[in-house]
Amino acid sequence: MKPITDLHFKHHNKEIYIVGSDPTLEDYPDNFLDGKLSTTLHLAYIKFPNATYHYFNERDRFIFLKEKYPEIIKKINIFGYPFYNRSKQVADETIGGAHKNAYYLDLKPYPPNGNSGDIFNEKGPNAMRAMVANAVNATSITYGGHGTCLHPCMYFAIMLGCNPINIIGCNFKNIKGKEHFGEAHKIDHDMRPTTPSFSGYRGTRMTRGLNAIIDGCKDNNIKVNWISHYDKTTKQVVYINQNPKSNGLPKTKSEFTAI
């Protein structure tokens, strides 16, 4: 595998879509990413297997997809290495032949010091904002997040030089009793039956982390479009507006505006 710094500014000032797997993904047409620079997150591969890149930092997700879709090892995969809570030996065995076309970042969960509670004070948001500059300047390959693969993948998109960065399928909440789209909902439940819901602590932690990264992007003149969903009637995406400076704080319902 090669470090993601080898891709520094490969797509300078190009628009990119980062695709999560929440229930809103069901409404996007299968050809939505055609002609677009994009990267999927884990189970979003099922919906968009032909995205430009595919990001993984969870071993169980990659094992499942590799077994069901063996062609995935030939794709351009980006790995948060050595997967969350896994050893390098286990990660190397899991990645196997996929390493030939792969790039990696050194995964450091819960920045700055591995404490998940830091996202609820200034330590976590400050560290995540600082890592934006590291990605812009390619001064590090170490990145992480607070509870979601979207966070480290954002740094990958920044490393690529992408601007704007569009985020879909990442609302960090339960939507009509589901947290993943289509068949991914059952796959996730069977894979992780005891994992807490996005509603509450987990979703708030994810939102605070993303808002901190967005703040860092604003400091570096990178536009981030956080997309709520795809409207099948108008055939347009609906955006979530961001405050000029969120300081890593989650927004209340009244602060979200669709445009």
Percent of the chain surpassing pLDDT 70: 93
By residue count, the chain amounts to 259
Residue range 39-60, pLDDT digits in tens: 999 999 999 999 999 999 999 9
- CA atoms within 13 A of residue 75's CA, in its CB half-sphere: 24
* 91/105 Cα distance (integer angstroms): 13
Domain total of the chain: 1
Please state the three-class secondary structure of 86-106 as a single string: CCHHHHHHHHHHHHHHCEEEE
CATH label of the domain that carries residue 92: 3.90.1480
Residue range 208-247, pLDDT digits in tens: 999 999 999 999 999 999 999 999 999 999 998 543 343 3
pTM for this predicted structure: 0.92
pLDDT at 46: 98
- The answer to whether 197 touches 110, Cβ cutoff 8 Å, is no
Residue range 198-208, pLDDT digits in tens: 877 899 999 99
Q: Give the domain extent around 47.
A: 2-255
